[in-house]
Amino acid sequence: MTQLESARKGKLTAEMKRVAKQEGISQRKLLNAVKRGIVVIPANEKHRNLKPIGIGEQLRTKVNANIGTSPNDKSLAKEKKKLKVALAAGTDTVMDLSIGGNINKIRRELLKACPVPFGTVPIYQAVVGKNLVSLGEGDFLRAIETHIKDGADFITVHSGVRRRAIPLVKKREMGAVSRGGSFLLKWMEHNGRENPLYENFDYILDMAHEYDCTLSLGDGLRPGCIADATDRAQLSELRTLGELQKRAFKRGVQCMIEGPGHIPLNQIKRNVELEKKYCSNAPFYCLGPVVTDVAPGYDHITCSIGGALGAYYGINFICYVTPAEHLKLPGIEDVREGVIAARIAAHAADVGRGMPKALEWDKKMAKYRKKLDWNGMIKTALDCGKASQYRKSSKMKTDACSMCGRYCALKVMK
């Protein structure tokens, strides 16, 4: 029985009890949210060492870290280090996006070592090392089945990319920037057929239902630049995702909706409102949004700006962007910086939303600052390691900092 079906029967699962305690909300309130599909608890029954979390309305904004190999860097050891760093930095979930090396081994080793919800993108498994256009629909479905049976807690499926969107994508400045979306667009155009992940969605639901794998309905037509934001191609896919979300909900399968992408600040609120409208308030999972195209090397910052505003308006789950975005495969330090930047965005939004635990965290820091209690400040900091390094590098022997010294406003007020 899935988390959603258990909630419908009024049955509290062990995962629900743990999430309610984590979030500081009543079990009854959480049960009702899961029942309505506005909260998901990704927890594949095959993922044995999982520490479950909840994603959705009324809960703390969550953060995901993407890791994974590329054709140019296939090191499993490096990906294990990235996983360790992401977890230490406080990510809520991890996704493996590997497209190089022994993908099965990499995924299984990372999943085994991952105590938080673990996501994958099965279409990569189907395509990598193969002739894309000659694949049959069974190739795509077998990859999904493999990932679910391996224990993936949530999987991205690009079932909303429809053949009718091809002319709309061709009118764009950037076309399709989603890897999975581009695979399917090319496959459909070459074969003159509809998306096999759309046509076989009921079969995908059956597979997900068997192991309670949460579906993350992918935004294969997300805008890859500001000029393409909130265009007809994107909104056409979003409407299809709304249709698919309702089918998943009816089947008892937990479901999230993935969102943009490159979106300017003035369009973020509208994007959130449209997702909630078309997709029955299902949890919204966004890459950023990235709010400007001109900051390569700093896209963890453009992401955190968009993520904070988006989460304030209703994005429930932020996928980090690292400083390496648009430039190269992220390194270990890029992963750490990406997680921290996304966590700042998530927490800032939670403060703005008046979440009690978020407000209490900030209040605790204020009390330590007033007392010039540096140990307390460092322990309370979101990134205590970096805070400690800065304090030590100042070489201050007094309770002041090296910026103001004896002219510190707090010391003056004392």
Residues 373-384 pLDDT 10s: 999 999 999 999
Query: Is the pLDDT confidence value at 61 over 90?
Result: yes
Query: What is the distance, to the nearest Å, from the Cα of residue 129 to the centroid of all Cα atoms in its chain?
Result: 27
Tracing tokens 């009324």 back to the chain, one arrives at: 58
Contact partners, residue 84, CB within 8 Å, separation at least 6: none
Nearest to residue 311, comparing CAs of 367, 355, 279, 278?
Answer: 355
pLDDT tens digits along 1-29: 999 999 999 999 999 999 999 999 999 99
Rounded Cα distance, 360 and 111, in Å: 34
Structure confidence at residue 317 as a pLDDT band (50, 70, 90): very high
pLDDT tens digits along 110-134: 999 999 999 999 999 999 999 999 9
In three-state secondary structure terms, 375 is helix
Judging by beta carbons within 10 Å of its beta carbon (0-12, 13-18, 19+), is residue 411 exposed, middle or buried? Answer: middle
Q: Which two tokens stand for residue 155?
A: 């999987």
pLDDT for 156 = 98
pLDDT for 409 = 84
The model carries a pTM of 0.97
